[in-house]
Amino acid sequence: MYKPLITRETAQQAVGCVRPLFERAVTTSDFGDSGCAHVVVMDPYARPGLITFEQAVLYEESFNRERWDADYAMYARAKANVSWRTGRDSYGLAVTAPQLLESGDAGLGGGVGGDGIGVGGRGGFYTLPRPQEPVQVLLS
């Protein structure tokens, strides 16, 4: 019987492995001044066009949600969607291949994609280097 290697439980464990990084990041101005974050992990077995984005969200988690001053989940989901659909990092896509962006896409850094895995996050500054992306890369 087929059993996927990456499941909701393994995605939750992956976030658990980097949770200390998120928890530390939201307390330092090196990451951003919002004091909060949200991360979305996409199902690598779900294929855009065959399944909806909502169905493809494998796991998501908020950090310091009580400090939100904007809808961090919406932004993280938008970035995860772009990276999941294209298989590319959202910042690189916006800079080097903007023609792949669709109407309504978030042309912001913070989404990473590759090998079928898409992860999006919101909560850090968008300066170079983009400090939130290494955490998403660890998840993917």
| The pLDDT value given to residue 1 | 64
Q: How many residues does the chain have?
A: 140
| The pLDDT value given to residue 59 | 94
pTM for the complete prediction?
A: 0.80
3-class SS string, the chain? CCCCCCCHHHHHHHHHHHHHHHHHHCCCCCCCCCCCEEEEEECCCCCECCECHHHHEEEEEEECHHHCCCCHHHHHHHHHHHHHHHCCCHHHHHHHCHHHCCCCCCCCCCEEEECCEEEEEECCCCCCCCCCHHHHHHHC
Which residue numbers in the chain have pLDDT < 70? 1-2, 123-140
| The pLDDT value given to residue 124 | 58
Residue type at 3?
A: K
| The pLDDT value given to residue 137 | 47
The tokens of 124 are what?
């850090």
**From CA 130, how far away is CA 126, in angstroms rounded?**
6
